[in-house]
């Protein structure tokens, strides 16, 4: 149970509720005392029963009104608390992002002129990497045309020469971001390696279904 929830416990322990309750109780007590101080013959009893009932009903209605006010106050308190938590979460996320961006920028100092890509998979046949490339292109329209995702043929990988790569001519910091993007969208199994960009033979996926 959240401490912002309106419950019977929070209701009876709220000092504002207690003050209102005492006020109603005193008002009802005064009303009852004023009508019951007269001699109680049968005619008087019949005459005062309506004011007594009205005083009791007024007390009940007043307490119901206080309960609804208490609920509204607790609801507003919960909303304020949620808004404060959200603001704090956003602040923490922004601070973390700022640190990460600063750290990523420092990566470029390692090798400022080098360019990279992310290797998503190696396969013996082009069908599977081309299928994944098309899926990425559907998620990021134009990725294949812009060479943002491509299949290359690497002869040195004799058993699995078809390589699916993500990104092109990336700085090391950008490659790190592409790597995280690949992991977030499950483009690869595990953490895909960052590779040095060099001239390699590209495979035309339009030649396979």
Cβ 151 vs Cβ 202: under 8 Å: yes
203 and 131 housed in the same domain: yes
* Better-predicted residue by pLDDT, 72 or 137: 137
Task: Compare 24 and 168 and report the one with higher pLDDT.
Answer: 168
In a domain, 136, yes or no: yes
Q: Name the pLDDT band for 4 (thresholds 50, 70, 90).
A: very low
Considering the domain architecture, whether residues 87 and 136 belong to the same structural domain is answered as no
139 lies in the same domain as 93: no
Is residue 67 within 8 Å of residue 11, measured between CB atoms? yes
What total number of domains does the chain contain? 2
Which residue, chain included where needed, has tokens 């339009």?
206
Residue 111 counted as domain residue: no
Among the three residues 106, 125, 159, which one is the final residue of a domain in this structure?
A: 106
Say whether pLDDT at 148 is over 90. yes
**Local confidence band at 35 (pLDDT 50, 70, 90 cut-offs):** low
| Same domain flag for 70 and 26 | yes
Q: Do 182 and 127 belong to one domain?
A: yes
Place of tokens 């995280």: 180
List CB contacts of 148: < 8 A, sequence separation 6 or more. 136, 140, 142, 166, 167, 168
- How far apart CA 107 and CA 202 sit, in angstroms, is 28
Q: Is residue 11 exposed (0-12), middle (13-18) or buried (19+ Cβ within 10 Å)?
A: middle
Tokens linked to 44 = 């008087």
CA distances from 120 to 37, 171, 196 (A): 92, 17, 14
Ranges 27-41, 97-111, 130-144: which has the least confidence:
27-41
Helices 42-107 and 15-36 meet at what angle, rounded to 10? 170
Whether residues 150 and 62 share a domain: the answer is no
- Residues 122, 163: contact at Cβ < 8 Å? yes
Is residue 17, in this structure, part of any structural domain at all? yes
Q: CA–CA separation, 120 vs 166, rounded Å?
A: 7
Whether the per-residue pLDDT at 50 is higher than 70: the answer is no
The string of pLDDT tens digits covering residues 52-90 is 676 677 767 777 777 777 777 778 888 888 888 877 766
Shared domain for 13 and 77, answered yes or no, is yes
What average pLDDT does range 39-51 have in this prediction?
61
Judge whether 122 and 157 are in contact, CB under 8 Å: yes
Residue where a domain stops, chosen among 62, 79, 106:
106
102 lies in the same domain as 149: no
Burial class (CB in 10 A: 0-12, 13-18, 19+), 80: exposed
User: What is the span of the domain harbouring residue 122?
Assistant: 116-207
Mean pLDDT of the chain: 79
C-alpha distances out from residue 192 to 44, 157, 188, Å: 93, 17, 6
Q: What pLDDT score does 189 carry?
A: 82
2 within a domain of the structure (yes/no): no
Question: Percent of the chain beyond pLDDT 70?
Answer: 68
129 and 91 in one domain? no
Dist CA 49 CA 69 (whole Å): 30
Task: Find the mean pLDDT for residues 7-13.
Answer: 62
Better pLDDT: 4 or 121: 121
176 plus 88 within the same structural domain? no
Domain's final residue, options 106, 140, 158: 106
Residue 158 belongs to some domain of the structure? yes
Confidence of residue 112 (pLDDT cuts 50, 70, 90): confident
Q: Give the single-character DSSP code of 193.
A: P
Kindly state the tokens that stand for 132: 């994944």
For residue 1, is it within any domain? no
Tens of pLDDT, residue by residue over 163-182, are: 999 999 999 888 988 998 89
The CA distance from 51 to 36, in Å, is 10
């Amino acid at each position: 149970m959240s401490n912002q929830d309106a419950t019977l416990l929070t209701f009876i322990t709220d000092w504002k509720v207690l003050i209102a309750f005492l006020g109603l109780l005193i008002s009802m007590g005064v009303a009852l005392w004023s009508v019951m101080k007269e001699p109680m013959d049968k005619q008087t009893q019949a005459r005062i029963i309506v004011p007594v009932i009205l005083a009791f009903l007024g007390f009940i209605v007043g307490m119901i009104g206080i309960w609804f006010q208490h609920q509204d106050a607790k609801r507003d308190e919960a909303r304020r608390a949620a808004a404060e938590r959200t603001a704090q979460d956003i602040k923490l996320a922004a601070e973390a992002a700022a640190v990460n961006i600063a750290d990523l920028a420092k990566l470029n100092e390692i090798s400022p002129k080098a360019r990279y890509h992310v290797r998503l998979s190696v396969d013996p046949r082009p069908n599977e990497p081309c299928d994944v490339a098309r899926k990425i292109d559907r998620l990021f329209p134009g990725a294949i045309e812009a060479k943002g995702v491509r299949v290359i043929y690497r002869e040195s990988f004799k058993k699995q020469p078809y390589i699916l790569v993500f990104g092109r001519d990336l700085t090391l910091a950008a490659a790190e971001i592409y790597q995280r993007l690949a992991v977030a969208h499950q483009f690869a199994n595990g953490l895909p390696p960052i590779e040095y960009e060099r001239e390699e033979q590209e495979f035309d996926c339009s030649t396979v279904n």
